[in-house]
Amino acid sequence: MNSLETVTDNTHPASLADSTAIAAGKFVVCMALTTLAASPYNTQAQNYPTKAIRLIVPYAPGGGSDILARPVAAKLGDAWGQSVIVENRAGGGTNLGSELAARSAPDGYTLFMPTIANAINPTLYGKLNYDPIKDFAYITNIAKLAGIVCVHPSVPAKSVKELISLAKTKPDQLRFSSAGNGSPHHLAGELFKMMAGIKMIHVPYKGATPALVDVLGGHIEVYIGSIVPAMPHVKNGRLRPIGVTSLKRVAVVPDLPTLDEQGLKGFETGSWFGIAAPAGTPKDIIAKLHGEIVRIIKMPEVTDRIAAEGAEFVGNTPEEFTTFVSAEIIKWSKVVKLSGAKVD
């Protein structure tokens, strides 16, 4: 005889009433739990947001991160009736903004835009005041932005194969510029050298603009960097493009083959821009953010702007984005160590 049967056999009216109340209470609790499980969000997420949200971008205003962050923030604000304020926190190679985001309250009211720098910095700096995996809840990768390899028109190379051949006949004579030691552009160049088996001289600058200007002036032979600032000069013939660094061709230069197509199998570099929150942010809020952000970056007025900059829409799941970031950390740690790259 089980415990319920024992209670039922009791002939005292009070005991029967108590047992009925207990059973009814259990039924109500079970129904409530079933209803909660069936709902996509609990009450906390249903009411979220009730105040302004800040989106920390670890770069100065006006860069590629802003180009993507601001339309997403504006559309989130429109959808939820609460302001989403882009807060630019540049400094320390993105570490200042990253640490600020990691230390913020995990309540859904602080968001963060992680980029490729968050995969490079753990090895480049050796010791950070935050953990790029443990301290963040990754929501989705908004977009990948391909890089491009260009040469000054005076360089007698019209393909990756020809550039590699030229570099092998002139070891340590060709130069490539970057936005600084340890920058994504620098490490893209180092990866190119390693996979091609060539030697080129790295010339670091204090920023992407002067690095590009000296290639345009013919002082530096090779540009390996963002496609966005290079495109106007490609179109007017001041730079000769020889390949894009994504695994798929880019819509803005559809006839330009990838480095992978040209023999450097698996070569992939470029910027990526995502959305994350501090670790510990409730999962239902993460789910709500993910659904809304992916919906927004499918809007033509948003995706057209992304595509116009040479970017590829992603919109993956939190789990996929976390796996991607972890793989990027491993990939770039190898390049940093082999290249001997150090911060300025």
> Domain map of the chain by residue range?
50-144+270-339, 146-244
Residues 276 and 108 sit within 8 Å (Cβ to Cβ): no
- The pLDDT, as a whole number, for residue 142 is 94
- The pLDDT, as a whole number, for residue 336 is 93
Which superfamily does 50-144+270-339 belong to? Bordetella uptake gene, domain 1 (3.40.190.150)
Residues 230 and 218 sit within 8 Å (Cβ to Cβ): no
The angle that helices 318-339 and 117-124 make with each other, rounded to 10 degrees, is: 40
Residues 59 and 65 sit within 8 Å (Cβ to Cβ): yes
**pLDDT tens digits for range 76-96:** 999 999 999 999 999 988 999
Compute the distance between CA of residue 198 and CA of residue 192 in angstroms, rounded to an integer: 8
**pLDDT tens digits for range 292-332:** 999 999 999 888 877 776 788 899 999 999 999 999 999 99
* pLDDT bracket for residue 42 (50, 70, 90): low
Which superfamily does 146-244 belong to? Periplasmic binding protein-like II (3.40.190.10)
Instruction: Please state whether beta strands 53-57 and 110-112 pair in parallel, antiparallel, or not at all (unpaired).
Output: parallel
Compute the distance between CA of residue 110 and CA of residue 89 in angstroms, rounded to an integer: 13
* pLDDT bracket for residue 44 (50, 70, 90): low
Using the predicted structure, report yes or no on whether residue 339 has a pLDDT greater than 80.
yes
Instruction: Assess whether the region 50-144+270-339 and the region 146-244 belong to the same CATH fold.
Output: yes
On the CB side of 273, how many CA atoms lie within 13 Å of its CA?
25
342 — alpha (psi -120 to 50), left (phi > 0) or beta?
beta
| Global model pTM greater than 0.85 | no
Which three-class secondary structure string do you get for the chain? CCHHHHHHHCCCHHHHHHHHHHHHHHHHHHHHHHHHHHCCCCHHHHHCCCCCEEEEECCCCCCHHHHHHHHHHHHHHHHHCCCEEEEECCCHHHHHHHHHHHCCCCCCCEEECCECHHHHHHHHCCCCCCCCCCCEEEEEEEEEEEEEEEECCCCCCCCHHHHHHHHHHCCCCCEEEECCCCCHHHHHHHHHHHHHCCCCEEEECCCHHHHHHHHHCCCCCEEEEEHHHHHHHHHCCCCEEEEECCCCCCCCCCCCCECCCCCCCCCCCEEEEEEEEECCCCHHHHHHHHHHHHHHCCCHHHHHHHHHCCEEECCCCHHHHHHHHHHHHHHHHHHHHHHCCCCC
- The pLDDT, as a whole number, for residue 8 is 34
Compute the distance between CA of residue 9 and CA of residue 1 in angstroms, rounded to an integer: 10
Calculate the average pLDDT of the chain: 87
Using the predicted structure, report yes or no on whether residue 222 has a pLDDT greater than 50.
yes
Compute the distance between CA of residue 64 and CA of residue 278 in angstroms, rounded to an integer: 23
Sorted by sequence, the CB contacts under 8 Å of residue 144 that are 6+ apart come out as 246, 270, 271, 272, 311, 312, 314
Average pLDDT, integer, range 158-172: 97
